[in-house]
Structure 1
């Protein structure tokens, strides 16, 4: 009887935990209702709800298990009881408030990233100014409401738990000692949620071909915590997320697919992909190179690619240079696009190379290669260059000069993310005009097409579609003005220009990887560039070797992209890689292989309308290529071979 009475010390907390579980279920049902058009085709409502209970119990054990444990330990001694009755409710109130904020933000996060909150949610906390700028429009009221509600929840939960009628109930030390292993065992059992060798993880919730729907059984606090946990395991887990393959086999496949022959290899033992590339173009001297990186410009906004008619200046380049009709971005973030376009590196579910601690020095970039060849190299940006660690990465890896928001005097317009694109391009034009005869490479990164889409007034007619599309029209206007000035400049005749998007604006769809949403525009122009259209599949990782050929520079580099100036690749490289949160897709011809953490690869047939039909028997050859490409990047990082 005494033990039964002692158990009452947990009664108040247990009631609260039940309410917490109920709230998570209500949130999940709300998300199911909001995204019912995605859930219904999967016929998975029952799975979502049942697996949802499982992952909610995991979260409860992780968050509140320690509270039960400390309550058990503190209750036998009066002083510790009083201390616990003050600290434990406060801790619980704070973590519940944080959990509420993350869960309440889920619908908006899905709307932006087609995923429950994950590590991106944590990463954005590093840049509060940029976050506030992004949400200062339509999402600001939502942020204020959720933040205010979180504060109220923290106050209410703390106050309610401190009014526990059994908080002063004394229990024996013996009772606490006997109950401790029981609580620990329950915590471990609930967190593992299985008797199998490995504990449950998000892969257990995957049941459909829709990546977002597969995440509905999770809860967002768990999703964020698991993402943080995965990042902490980054170094040791990089090799085995998608499967296993011997390093020699990885290199054999990648070298073969990249067309790197033993005769081209310069250091097979320590830098296996470092090779000599002979440029296909010949000039009196290597040409200048300018890359204009357009923020969040997907094919859906480009009329020449079948999208909305918003970019007449970009569209006009289709007949003036090399125009890409099926170019795919490697990811959904700017840093991922920079990773591919500037370094030629492949994507992975891990931190991109721009932000990794082990790639901040002596990592291959176009700038590093060109600076060694006598080029002046610069990064010209309208925002704050420390965002996404760009400034550090660039200056440490070959860029000699960085221009950012603080370098503009009296800009025409200063928005939330920096100066306007016309200010950016004016600065770029002045910078390039002053280079004289010295060859140069400049990366120009735009910002105007970024939420909250604040742009100068009276430049373009507002789009009927909304602010995003209006900002795209403005970005295109600014690009057109820059190219018009460039054509009459002294540097035009000796320069190759690449205009390319970093990624699409919003990546979503009812697939494990919505490959059609990764399609982006790009054009290479200049007096030396012969106009043509590349109609086949191409990846951002093919940009580095292609540009090196076009500027006429023979070079040694480790990039594994395909040189699209070579006859065998004139219609495209024929393959592309895409990272969509934890999933990676490899597309070749009409086949798509999707790699998911801790699951077998899944092969699909890609239809003309981008529909993906599962191939029951798979496609072993392409699956091995996909795995080799996925493992090559971590192998290069681990062995310092890039």
Structure 2
């Protein structure tokens, strides 16, 4: 006998739609389980808890999605039920919402493929920068096939609703006042319950990060991230007295060459060096997109995709055990310009009131350097132009607009079409942006200006396309090809630069913004923060492999010490070459804040939680250990003071 869902009368289509969503969400959840089959916890209790936690959040999600429809069904008088207007409104919005949700399910699959997580703050950012994201999708996936598939599946699901007589029952049934009140009251009660008492972090019940992520509902996670993109440290994290926090950090930053200029809540100090400084060397700084340490042969890779960088490691100051502060480009930019630990929520690059900060550009400007920022895409993306323009850099990008905000007093220069040989969704290829920088450097040299040129690369990014015929891996086929092309472009940069009259007096600094992937089964995947860094073209006497554990924020203080510069500092980074340098790394996500010292790892989480682990480098696993109060206080101090200084405008 053919079974049907219970008759829901006027609400039949709505309930079919809601049940369809719950079923599809669980199918997606099973898909993620199978996808990460060797990483998730499969024991029956964890499996059931993952599925039921997911179902719980899905119920809240579909209630919010359906609320407008429930209100419509509730207020529509019975005499208008089944009219042409009623049919048009119900059919149109049911079809549209089904299409959007099917597309969202597909989007979750691609997002998981890239980030191994449900929708988060990255998805929120992608919604803002639609040009780059849509172009990336077009170049990464067969879009006509994707849209066609979404339309086809939408039609199939609507046909199933039709076959189950959901449309017929909805347009032929009247709804009594009692039914209307009960349905609306239940929906409002569920919505108020989820809106008032349920938070997305409550899905994170498992020590296995994958089980927790799969427990979430992607749409619910998206809106949770949208609401919490900025997080004040003291509201969300364990804190201590500010006097104690600043006392700890001032002690950590204490240095025979440093003199604090204030007794209050400040780390501002004057750095002096008794050794005569080197002449003002030009500096070309290259921040390389997604350059994981694991790509280099130097760190065990067998694919030979970074032959040039591996050669540089033998004739440079090479940082062997350096860690990125975050998982996104703006975090890398924040780390290398402000030398600050990652504050919770959005990167400072994307926040309001981020102009006129004390950055490394301030140090160069104090020595009359010409400072420029080169980006092959539109610097509007991720607020880069506003941040760099507001902090002293002249901008060179492929912006569709021609001016910056009136509040930002800087110059913006478009990279012209005749300077471009290849371009994809994220910008021009690495060779082209390097060639533009070389052209500007020639002009700077001609004008007798020492220069600090900051270049952000883009080629090592999905869709992984680059000019054909440059390397032996076809364009658009793999991440490995994009890495190898970036390595090729760097070789070309040095080859061309070596012919320039300014080359001998120029230092090249190369570092990754973050790793290609940061996700793992543990709270923090430590190995996926390990990145390479090089200081190239100093005298051979400086060349060495630095084996000390350190952070992105230590790069510039180390170089400034090599230059023997005297300068003002608000930096949290330290000179790695100092004999008393205390090894440590600071890193995090937009919610997790980490201090690592050797193999010990402290993680601060929102909801004022903390966890202490030992890291096994051989298998990249974290093992819980008893809490250490002094280690916890130090971890809190790094992040609490950094957040305090920025939010109170003390980094200006």
Q: Report the equivalent of 2:464.
A: 453
Pairwise CA distance, 1:475: 1.4
- Written as runs of structure 1 = structure 2, the 5 A alignment for 1:250-329 is 250-259=245-254, 264-269=259-264, 272-279=266-273, 282-283=276-277, 285-308=279-302, 309-329=304-324
Distance 1:563 1:156, change over 3 A: farther
Q: TM-score, normalised by structure 1?
A: 0.88
Q: Report the equivalent of 1:536.
A: 548
Equivalent-residue separation in structure 2 for 1:354 and 1:249 (angstroms): 28
Pairwise CA distance, 1:514: 0.8
RMSD across aligned positions (CA): 3.3
Equivalent-residue separation in structure 1 for 2:123 and 2:160 (angstroms): 25
Give structure 1 stretches of 5+ with no counterpart: 1-5, 193-197
Pairwise CA distance, 1:393: 1.3
Any conservation in 2 of the 1:103–1:221 contact (CA below 8 Å)?
Answer: no
- Written as runs of structure 1 = structure 2, the 5 A alignment for 1:269-418 is 269=264, 272-279=266-273, 282-283=276-277, 285-308=279-302, 309-359=304-354, 361-404=355-398, 406-408=414-416, 410-411=418-419, 413-416=421-424, 417-418=426-427
Distance 1:178 1:592, change over 3 A: closer
SS of 1:567's equivalent?
coil
Distance 1:24 1:435, change over 3 A: same
Question: In the alignment, which of 421, 435, 450 is matched to residue 444 of structure 2?
Answer: 435
SS of 1:37's equivalent?
coil
Q: Report the equivalent of 1:148.
A: 151
The reply on whether 1:511 has 2:506 as its aligned counterpart is no
The reply on whether 1:494 has 2:505 as its aligned counterpart is yes
Equivalent-residue separation in structure 2 for 1:75 and 1:633 (angstroms): 58
- Written as runs of structure 1 = structure 2, the 5 A alignment for 1:177-216 is 181=185, 183-189=187-193, 191=194, 199-216=197-214
SS of 2:382's equivalent?
helix
Equivalent-residue separation in structure 1 for 2:168 and 2:273 (angstroms): 76
Q: How far does the alpha carbon of each residue in 1:413-444 deviate from its partner, in whole angstroms, 9 at most, with x for none?
A: 21203332222222222222332332211101
After superposing the two structures, state which structure 1 stretch, 29-38 or 172-181, moved more.
Answer: 172-181
Any conservation in 2 of the 1:71–1:84 contact (CA below 8 Å)?
Answer: no
Any conservation in 2 of the 1:334–1:502 contact (CA below 8 Å)?
Answer: yes
Any conservation in 2 of the 1:504–1:520 contact (CA below 8 Å)?
Answer: yes
SS of 2:267's equivalent?
strand
Question: In the alignment, which of 423, 426, 443 is matched to residue 435 of structure 2?
Answer: 426
Pairwise CA distance, 1:229: 2.1
Any conservation in 2 of the 1:97–1:154 contact (CA below 8 Å)?
Answer: no
Pairwise CA distance, 1:228: 1.1
Equivalent-residue separation in structure 2 for 1:99 and 1:240 (angstroms): 34
SS of 1:393's equivalent?
helix
Distance 1:83 1:345, change over 3 A: farther
Q: Report the equivalent of 1:195.
A: none
Pairwise CA distance, 1:215: 0.9
Question: In the alignment, which of 221, 224, 234 is matched to residue 222 of structure 2?
Answer: 224
Distance 1:550 1:65, change over 3 A: same
Pairwise CA distance, 1:617: 1.9
Equivalent-residue separation in structure 2 for 1:149 and 1:364 (angstroms): 55
Distance 1:168 1:264, change over 3 A: farther
SS of 1:606's equivalent?
strand
Q: How far does the alpha carbon of each residue in 1:321-340 deviate from its partner, in whole angstroms, 9 at most, with x for none?
A: 21111111112211111111
After superposing the two structures, state which structure 1 stretch, 504-513 or 407-416, moved more.
Answer: 407-416
Distance 1:299 1:427, change over 3 A: same
Pairwise CA distance, 1:217: 0.9
Equivalent-residue separation in structure 2 for 1:299 and 1:165 (angstroms): 60
Pairwise CA distance, 1:70: 4.0
The reply on whether 1:468 has 2:468 as its aligned counterpart is no
Q: Report the equivalent of 2:28.
A: 27
Give structure 2 stretches of 5+ with no counterpart: 1-6, 400-413
The reply on whether 1:242 has 2:237 as its aligned counterpart is yes
Pairwise CA distance, 1:51: 0.9
- Written as runs of structure 1 = structure 2, the 5 A alignment for 1:566-605 is 566-569=578-581, 573-598=582-607, 600-605=609-614
Q: TM-score, normalised by structure 2?
A: 0.86
SS of 2:336's equivalent?
helix
Pairwise CA distance, 1:562: 1.2
Pairwise CA distance, 1:100: 2.8
Distance 1:163 1:303, change over 3 A: same
Pairwise CA distance, 1:162: 8.7
Pairwise CA distance, 1:223: 1.3
The reply on whether 1:480 has 2:491 as its aligned counterpart is yes
Pairwise CA distance, 1:461: 2.2
After superposing the two structures, state which structure 1 stretch, 375-384 or 208-217, moved more.
Answer: 208-217
Equivalent-residue separation in structure 1 for 2:612 and 2:158 (angstroms): 50
Any conservation in 2 of the 1:365–1:398 contact (CA below 8 Å)?
Answer: no
Distance 1:33 1:281, change over 3 A: farther
Q: How far does the alpha carbon of each residue in 1:463-491 deviate from its partner, in whole angstroms, 9 at most, with x for none?
A: 89953222222211221222233334332
Distance 1:351 1:91, change over 3 A: farther
Any conservation in 1 of the 2:28–2:105 contact (CA below 8 Å)?
Answer: yes
Question: In the alignment, which of 114, 122, 125 is matched to residue 123 of structure 1?
Answer: 125
Q: Report the equivalent of 1:108.
A: 110
Pairwise CA distance, 1:587: 1.1
SS of 1:101's equivalent?
helix
